[in-house]
A and B are shown apart, each in its own frame.
Chain A
């Protein structure tokens, strides 16, 4: 790998260690510190079952963040994901119509719906050249309105148990851990797929190039529209999966997804994603989502009121972007 003309005479072991330590994404350190903090205030949390239960709760936002990262890296935003979550919860309940036999085709329809929403978002951004912030903000309103109209403004129907099992169920009677949440299995599968596609496949490299320098990407042969649209599809599908888990976890609620889009963006930024594109990591973004949930748990344990969440999130977005802006200015 380093058969390039080397300009120094080989770093010492200590220098190598220091360089390595510097290259570790700080979000992992932050995450572990928060984990210890929460565990200190609530020792049950560090037990296996306590932690798995927490992961189950955090799974939807972590999945949402993994999808959002793709759009952020492409240089855009996807604000429509919160509304997709809400629509999945409301629409899922209405379509299942209290008959467990309907669950499977409903899940397929919801996933297909996610693909369609992602395609529409991507098409508007890529071909109609509408800034993604505006395009997906519009989609947020469209989907929210559609959900409210469909449900008549109040939650109706129930999600059947075989639907809710993904969000709240456990595999029971296991050795060692006693029980293991389905949501964590879904989280692991989505996490691995998203990481693999982004970090180990051609698509991830083309996406990074597109976000870093769209003009150069086009001139290097990247089919920029295709790559960009696919990012929106991935984000929307991840939102459908998150919606299925969240509906299972907390039931039908017309506010189920409200605000999740901003939470996902702040989480990805915490994980080192650069707003405006060209840089990011799926595991780090998911760690950012977990860290954010841990922070909320910590604030909760410290007895701080819930509205502070929003304020904290706002501060995170502003400081992360300011930090990134300072960094790029310095490097010029």
Chain B
């Protein structure tokens, strides 16, 4: 299959910095025509950033991109597309109310007398679809929103063909597809390889990585680790490369057995639209880490426990009492707290002062016509300043609107909000995402301190060092289920094996579906 010796696309020493992080550090890779090249790595390893740098969505801070033997610097993905590099994001870039043909030739419709020539447009679309062997699947005149996800993906690919692309980049192309649809994509990719395209794809699903690719490149923390020939490696080796790094050492100690107390939350056979057969116990004094890849059901588990998207089936008991937690209000009344993943959308009230942010949850437990105490609650008139001290919010005064605080300080305000409510069961979803190292360590210390005081804690994180450093017990989610449980001291590769749908000793990819 591989005929040309020259790479069609090559990156050399690419570096990309964002405020506070180096997303890509001196990354180099070569992509050959007629070859499928998978790029793998943990969440945040820099895969998507690298793709975006290649098509000009981001401008690199260093390094160069060589396309067809020439140095290029695209200012916009559109320029890259015109030059012959197309990218298909997880979220398709299509117009749902336009037809298939209008989408395929969007912005370049054949025209006659200044009007779009519909007949030629549809004709040309059929030709493109024929090349993909998909001309019988749907009409060029079908409105896009009537197509399935898999069919829409074909439209995206057809669009790339219509641009005569030489390189096609796909970000998680199989994430939303069923098994049969994945087979369809596999056939399609064979057609594309016949055209001598280079295909680059990002995936978390090892099965597809091994089924589809000829080469696998591994990124980790923005560093290029290496490239392997798929035929000469196995899942274990790839996982080792993805996670093999020393543990960061700034975590507080784990719980001693005496510190772990009674069961506070107990879920049996919990299921809803996103989750299947969840069995889970959370004990006082214990931090349970939840690992899993994006879309594995981690956040959905938190939302089910907290009543945002409740379990439809199964039982939940809090402190031994069976309950239907059907709304956050019920959860809060049973002393639960939820520090959400998306601070901006779900945590803070940007236009309100710090004090009202901190006091909101405790106020939801009061009558609507109760007189407020400005800086606290009855009996604790200085609650705001006490908590601000405790979590160390850096602000000029508690009058300051939260929108003007840094991410770390906003997170501390959110934390203080739940401390004010005297919760005893805490769910943390990505508690340290997007905040600096110092604030991170402070928040880790606070979470552990809560556990020491007898709180039960469920901590979701996509950062494996955080999971390993903080958790007294680790559960790993995959495909809406708790796929496995590991004791503290588990290694990153053990976690990754479960998170990618492998059980131990089942290296090359069959999943349990």
Q: Which A residues are closer than 8 A to B by beta carbons?
A: 1-8, 197, 200-206, 208-209, 212-213, 215-223, 227, 230, 274, 278-279, 331
Q: How far is the CA of A202 from the CA of B306 in the complex (A)?
A: 23
Could you list which residues of chain B lie within 8 angstroms of chain A, going by C-beta atoms? 306, 308, 328-329, 331-333, 338, 340, 345-352, 354, 356, 359-361, 363-372, 374-375, 382, 384-385, 388-389, 392-399, 403-404, 417, 421
B128 to chain A, nearest CB (A): 40
**Candidates B329, B340, B354; contact of A221 at CB < 8 Å:** B329
Instruction: Determine the residue in chain B with the shortest Cβ distance to A277.
Output: B351
Other contacts beyond A205-B356, A220-B360: 12, CB < 8 A: A1-B399, A2-B397, A4-B396, A5-B394, A202-B363, A202-B371, A203-B369, A209-B356, A212-B352, A213-B350, A220-B361, A222-B360
Give the complex CA separation of A4 and B388 in angstroms. Answer: 6
Q: Is the CB of A201 within 8 A of B372?
A: yes
Find out whether the CB atom of B369 lies under 8 angstroms from the CB atom of A5. Answer: no
Chain A residues, CB < 8 A from B374 = 1
Contact status A202-B397, CB under 8 Å: no
Q: Does A223 contact B329, Cβ atoms closer than 8 Å? A: yes
Q: Which 5 A/B pairs are nearest by Cβ-Cβ distance?
A: A221-B364, A221-B332, A3-B385, A203-B368, A212-B349
| Distance from A203 Cβ to chain B, minimum over Cβ atoms (Å) | 4
Answer whether A220 and B364 are a contact pair too, CB < 8 Å, given A1-B375, A4-B393, A331-B403.
yes
Bound complex: CA A219 to CA B308 (Å): 8
Taking CB atoms, residues of chain A closer than 8 Å to B352 are 208-209, 212, 278
CA distance A188 to B308 in the complex (A): 42
CB<8 Å pairs between A and B, sample of 13: A2-B396, A7-B396, A8-B396, A201-B371, A202-B369, A204-B372, A206-B368, A209-B352, A216-B347, A217-B360, A219-B328, A278-B352, A279-B351
Bound CA span A208–B372, Å? 14
Q: CB distance A4 to B398 under 8 Å?
A: yes
B404: chain A residues at CB < 8 Å are: 331
Q: Are A205 and B351 in contact (CB under 8 A)?
A: no
B336 to A, closest residue via Cβ: A221
| CA of A206 to CA of B368, assembled, Å | 8
Task: Kindly report which residue of chain B lies nearest to residue A226, judged by CB atoms.
Answer: B368
B351 and A216 contacting across the interface, CB-CB below 8 Å: no
Which residues on the A side are within 8 Å of B396 (C-beta)?
2, 4, 6-8
A221 touches B372 (CB 8 A): no
Q: Could you tell me the distance between the alpha carbons of A159 and B314 in the complex, rounded to whole angstroms?
A: 63
- A3 — which chain B residues lie within 8 A by C-beta? 382, 385, 388-389
Which residues on A sit within 8 Å (CB–CB) of B351? Answer: 208, 212, 274, 278-279
The residues of B that contact A8 with a CB separation of less than 8 Å are: 396
- The answer to whether B306 touches A205 (Cβ under 8 A) is no
Q: Is the CB of B356 within 8 A of A208?
A: yes
- Determine which residue in B333, B340, B351 has the highest number of CB atoms from chain A within 10 A of its CB, and name it: B351
For B417, the chain A residues whose CB sits under 8 A away are 220
* Residues on the B chain within 8 Å of A200, using CB: 371-372
Whether A201 contacts B349 by the Cβ 8 Å rule is no
Q: How far is the CA of A168 from the CA of B371 in the complex (A)?
A: 35
Query: A216: which of B329, B345, B388, B394 is its contact (CB, 8 Å)?
Result: B345
Given A200-B371, A278-B351, A279-B351, the answer on whether A219 and B385 have CB atoms closer than 8 Å is: no
Q: Tell me whether A213 and B349 are in contact in the complex, defined as CB-CB below 8 angstroms, given that A1-B398, A220-B417 are known contacts.
A: yes
Determine if B345 and A215 form an interchain contact, defined as CB atoms under 8 angstroms apart: yes
Task: Tell me the minimal C-beta distance from B414 to chain A in angstroms.
Answer: 9
